[in-house]
Structures are given as C-alpha cells and as structure tokens.
Amino acid sequence: MSTPSTGRYLWQFTLGEVAALIRDREVSPIEVTRASLERIEQTDSHVLAWARLCAERALDDAKRMEELLRAGKYLGPLHGIPVGIKDIIQTAGVEMSAGSRILAGFVPTEDAEVVRRLRLAGAVILGKTATTQFALFDPAPTRNPHNLAHTPGGSSSGSAAAVAAHHCFAAIGSQTLGSILRPAAYCGVAGLKPTYDLVSRKGVLPLAWSMDHVGPIARTSGDLLAVWNAIRRPDKQIREAKGLPYIVGVPDRFFFEKTDPAMVQAFRAAVGRLENAGAAVREVRLPSLFEAGVEAGYVVMRVEIATFHQQWFFSRPDGYGPKLRAVIESGLRIPAVSYVRAQQIRRAAAEQIRQLWKGIDVLATPAALGAAPQGLGSTGDPILTSPFTIFGVPSLTVPAGWSSAGLPLGLQLAADYFHDAWLLELGAMLDAEISARPPIDFPAARHGPAAVTSSAKPQEEPNEGQDRTEAAY
C-alpha cells in the first residue's frame, strides 16, 4: 500500500513517520501490519531474517489497536507499530529455539518483560527474528540486505536485517559484546545498547549474565527513542537529554589501529558533521586500565557462558556449533580465582572510565573495523563495541557513510551510565541522512503498480574459499 499524499509505500516510512499517520488516523494499524507482512512475504526469501512469523496473531493485535483508536484511546508512538523480537526473548505461546536444536520446541507461557512493555505501549509483535546459536558466534542463515553475499553481523542478525529490509519499524536485540551495534552498523540502521540493567532481562535467555544487555534497533535515533522510552525500567534515574552543545571526545588509541582506512575516513566525516551541528570535539586519553579491563571482560564472558550451558553441554555436546563449543570448553578450564580476579580488574577499569566523562559528554569511535565482511561463515569482529558492553555504559550506533563496495559504515557513540538520552539526542543530528537514503529493493519483490528505485548492489553467492576467520571473542 502506498499513501496518496506521498506515493511511498508504508514500509518505506520511519517509525516516527508511520506513528504520526496512525495517530492522525490517516492509516490504520491493520494497514500498516499488512504492509509489513507483505514486505516480508516478498523479500524474506532473500534475507532470511525471521525464525518464525506470527501473521495471524499480529493481525489480531493490529485489529485490537484499531479498536482502541476508534474508542479514542491512543497509547503513544508505538501504537499499532509492527516490531520483531530476537529469538532468545520469550513471547508467550510462540516457540523460542535460540537458533539451536537444543531448545527446539520450547514454547514459553509468559512474555519477557521487554515484550510485555512493548505490548502495553501498543506495539504489534510480528514474530521472532533469527539469532546466532544461543546468541554467540555460530551464524544464523540471515544475510545482509545490502549485499546478500555479506554477513549482517551477529548475534542480533535477524533483528538488524529485518529493520534494514523494511520488514518492521523496529526490533529488539541483545548484546553481550557487540550484538546490537555491530549488526546495526553492518546493515545501515541505528542501534542502542542501553546502560546495563536499564532494560529488564527477565525472560531473556542468558549468555553472560553480568554483560547481557537488551536494546532496540530501528532506522533512526528518533525511532530508537520511542522504543527505548517504552521498554526501559521506570525505577532507574535517567539523565534527560542535555541540549546542545555537546563535548565529543575522540579516543587516543585502541579504536583505530586495525580499522579499515575507509571506516576511519567515514568516522572523521561523521564527527565533522556533529561538529558543524554545534558539538565541540577534542581528543581524550583512555584510562590506563582500559585494555586490561576489556581482556578481563572476555574471561568473565567465557566463564559465565560455560556456567550457564554446562548441563546441556555435558548431555548434548553435539547440539552445539563449533564456535560456541570452543568458548564453553575454554570457560570450563578457567579457575574460579581467575574469574574473580577478572571481575576485580573489570570493576577497576570501569571506575577509571567514570573519570573519562568529567571532561567530555560523549565518546565517538568507529562502530566496527569496517563494512560487513563477505561470506556467511563469520559474523564479524566485535572488538570496537565490546569495551562499552563490558563496562556497562550505554552506546549507540548510527550510519556514518558507505564503503567503496556500497556497504554501510557505522559511527559509535558512548556516554556515562544512565545518559542514554544524551546519545540519542546527539545521534538524531544524523537522522536526516539516514531517512534520505533510498530503500533497499530485491529483484523478486512485487510492489504493486508503482516502481521503487533500487539501491541494492549486484548480489553474489559467497565464495566457499574465502577467509572466514572469526575474532577470538
């Protein structure tokens, strides 16, 4: 369906735009949900973003949202908005397999807290998006919508790809190292990893419980704000948006040594656009324990993964992919004293990080080493997003440009604990560039009488002989 006033299809709109159409009764939640389901039917055979779709249930929910509107009850900017849920997050009555044979057939009886809050805000749950096995490194079948021969990232691969392919207006992912921000960056959309524990993990399958974060993926920072406001815990003291100008820090090391030159160039250009919009930019020295704290986080992650999975692992080792199996085996060999010491180093590094924000408001870095790697055997390297997950501070990625091959590049912003709104306000400076991009199209998609300009590059099948090495962690 296209709107008469714009000639655009409903799936082309941002969450904020379609929310205004629903609020003003220009379109109905039923029409919007049908548009998303039709888009999925036309294109998901290319992208493979969905583990399972709940079309009838979504349409029933959309009808209820329409009935509320007719009764004069508008629940806010998520009223009637189709969203996706990563398949490690419980939705009542819908299978949650976490990309694994081990959990195949498991049907939760309750919604996770994040899903419950989305429903209260009026969101329409389309279904479960694909994830890497148990949210680690063994890839899902999902492909990058910008080039199907490239990874969409992981582990929230389906969530990011579904948003990028315009299947839904937002999706929920999780991050233990880089699993919201890296796929968002690779797929050319926006992602927020909130402050640790700001979004409830109740009903979310753990990976490493002291590092797991739940957060939204959407097309723009403004869209992320609408979802974040709905899912964040109300009992936490949030710092509201600061208002311009911001002081943006650029780190002196760690984030640039192995980063692709095209990524560095796109990063510098994005920071320059923030500066032109009123932000002050300065170089900052990372604290002395920064690298040690990151390495300690990897130790903590391995032990916690092994602890959670040990019972299943001992009874069904063949049910695990090779990458997750290797992590569990290494975690089982780490002594308890090493885990405790790693937590101590991690906490000490986090305290030093707190001092960083005394001179700046936000730290800016590349979101990944480069564009999404070619091949589907790896989800890419989380090294640039992992520090802020390990330390629990909020971080955001927004599109920053394009590689020479036409793949997205991402900018990462990080801030002090509970300053999530600062990141979203700063990221919103780049929203116009995101919204102006032409939509992704696919050769077999059927759109109706109007043609849609394609921005997709020629697709190639992955070369089995290519280097598909995985980052260590």
Q: What is the DSSP letter of 187?
A: H
Token look-up 């063949």 returns 318
Q: Which two tokens stand for residue 102?
A: 């081990």
Residue-wise DSSP of 260-290: -HHHHHHHHHHHHHHHHTT-EEEEEPPPTTH
| Active site (annotated) includes residue 155 | yes
Whole-number Å distance between alpha carbons of 91 and 87: 9
Catalytic residue among 28, 97, 100, 155: 155
Structure tokens at 135: 């949210």
Question: Which position among 86, 128, 193, 323 bears the catalytic label?
Answer: 86
Neighbours of 125 (CB within 10 A): 21
Contact 370, 328 (CB under 8 A): no
Among the listed residues 179, 221, 378, 386, the single catalytic one is 179
Residues facing residue 125 across a β-bridge = 83
Q: How far apart are the first and last CA of the chain?
A: 44
Those residues whose C-beta lies under 8 Å from the C-beta of residue 213, and which sit 6 or more positions away, are 174, 175, 176, 180, 193, 194, 196, 199, 389, 392
Angle among Cα 185, 271, 252 to the nearest 5 degrees reads: 90
- Phi and psi of 393, rounded to 5°? -85, 155
409: enclosing H helix or E strand: strand 408-414
Helices (H), 257-410: 261-276, 290-315, 322-332, 336-356, 386-391
Neighbour-count burial of 151, counting CB atoms closer than 10 A to its CB (0-12 exposed, 13-18 middle, 19+ buried): buried
- Angle (nearest 5°) at CA 86 between 221 and 410: 35
Smallest CA-to-CA distance from 428 within 284, 281, 278 is with 278
Tell me the catalytic residues: 86, 155, 179
